[in-house]
Each structure stands twice: as structure tokens, then as C-alpha cells.
Amino acid sequence: MATNLMLAATDPAETYIRFKDVQKSYGAVSVLNGISLDVARGEVLVLCGPSGCGKSTLLRCINGLEAISSGTIAVGENRVDGASQEVLQRIRLSTGFVFQNFNLFPHMTALENITIAPRKILGLPQREATAEGMRLLEQVGMAEKANVYPFQLSGGQRQRVAIARALAMKPSLMLFDEPTSALDPEMREEVLQVIRQVHDEHNMTMIVVTHEIGFAKNVASRAMLLDAGRIVEEAPARIFFEQPTQERTRRFLRAISND
């Protein structure tokens, strides 16, 4: 299938993230095989695909956690590939990343997890950072757990704190790497609810790797299927999930709706 999909819907002036023929390989194993993709400002893009298809890698290339082998990635004005430390930091400051396994700092309370970056990176005074941290904890429904350490929180609670931690840096882009797949079904909804709310309140650009079809249909503007490091199909979210054109997509959607 075509790999160079410039969506007509995206006005190039508004393009925020631009992938051009991105290749990524670990030694002989190639993970991304020529990804070209534009994401517009304010767009919510959902990435699906079987495990090992490269969707997490794609996300991690955007904030430079992984370096690409060839091609180019641009976030706003900044090129990610070959970026200097300063440019990479600028990209990371404007990009929030939420991990599958939360990755909270275990030696800090929920509140400290949220305030450490604004204090130490942006130089926010303790009092302001704490006020803002409490506001964010309230927003994700975790205010009463402010002074609790991560080991005392459930998975869903940890993930909500992790989202607040990312929001504390006031990013213009949020990347979610399977934010609910390490959670029990009941906790998934509380986390999805928070992500929905973040989208509603901040109208932020988001790329979400998830298999939550209901969530994707409601929130995403666009969805795509990645397989073996290529884009198999991409379409407006509703059409993607309801009338996929590729047999591979139909097979994948059947598989995930069975679990």
C-alpha cells in the first residue's frame, strides 16, 4: 500500500509533525520501513497495529528517545533527526510522553512527581509549582493522593498521575504509548476519561497508540494501522473502524474486538 500518504484534509500550513520516508532498524532488524505522515496541529491520531509493528518505536522517534536510521522527522520548526541537545530539549519540553508502564519516579510523592520538572527545568518557584501541581491532580481526580508514593497507588491512579506529570510542562503535543494496556478493564475507563478530558480542555495535538476502539472512535480525528513498519491503512477514525478498506485492517480489528 502507498506509504506516502499526504492527507488532503491537512492544510500544510498547519502541519505540526512531519515524517518523511522514515526508516528505523536495529542492526539487521528493520522496524520502520519508510513512514511518511503529516499530523496537523490539534489533530488526534490513533495508531493501531499488532505487537512489534513499530507503533511504539514511531512514537519514541518523535521525541528522540530513539534515533531514526534515515528520513526526516520535524516537530513544529524543529528537526528531530540530527538535533543538537538544545533542539532535542526544546522538542521534549513541548512534548508530553505517557508510557505504558507509567514510569513514575518511585522515590517522589505524586505531587513531587508533577512538580519536579517545572521546578528544576523551568525554574518555577516551589509555591507556584505546588499550586499548579495540585490543580492538575484535581483535574485527574487524584488530589487526595498528593502526598502518597507511587507504590501505594493502583495502576490506574499511577497513570493518571503520569498524565498530570506530562501536562505540568504545558506541552503542545501529547504522545500516549498504550496508556491503558497494562491496566485492568475497570481502570482503563478512568484513564481514558482523563485523556478525553485533556483533549476537550486543551485541544492539544495527540498521538495515541491504543486498541481501545470506543475511545478512538469518539476522540480521534484519524486512525491508522501499522504492520511490519509500514502504514497499511489510514482514514478518518470512524471510517477506519467501521468501513476499513484493507483486508489486513479487517483481520486486525476482528482480532482486537475478540479480546
| DSSP letter, residue 164 | H
Q: Is 218 helix (H, G, I), strand (E, B) or coil?
A: helix
Quote the least distance from Cβ 105 to other proteins, whole Å: 6
Shorter beta-carbon distance to other proteins: residue 146 or 239: 146
Give which of 166, 161, 209 is closest to 187, Cα–Cα.
161
> For other proteins, which is the closer residue by CB, 177 or 233?
177
E runs forming strands in 157-249: 173-177, 205-209, 222-227, 230-236
CA pair distance 47, 178, nearest whole angstrom: 10
209 vs 232, beta carbon nearer other proteins = 209
Q: Are 114 and 165 in contact (CB under 8 A)?
A: yes
Q: Give the residue from 149, 147, 158 showing the smallest Cα distance to 187.
A: 158
Q: Minimal distance in Å, beta carbon 183 to other proteins?
A: 14
- How far apart are alpha carbons 142 and 158 in whole angstroms? 9
Least Å distance, CB 87 to other proteins, is 12
Tell me whether residue 33 or residue 100 sits nearer to other proteins (CB atom). Answer: 100
Minimum Å distance from CB 256 to other proteins? 25
Which C-beta is closer to other proteins: that of 110 or that of 225? 110
Closest distance between other proteins and the C-beta of residue 200, in Å?
Answer: 24
Nearer to other proteins, 13 or 151 (CB): 151
- CA 103 vs CA 78, 156, 188, 225: distances in Å: 26, 13, 17, 26
Torsion, Cα 139 134 190 255, to 10 degrees, reads 100
Task: By CB under 8 A, name the binding residues for other proteins.
Answer: 63, 65, 85, 89, 92-93, 95-97, 99, 101, 103-108, 116-117, 120-121, 149-151, 158, 165-166, 169
Dist CA 72 CA 81 (whole Å): 6
Nearest distance in Å: CB 134, other proteins? 19
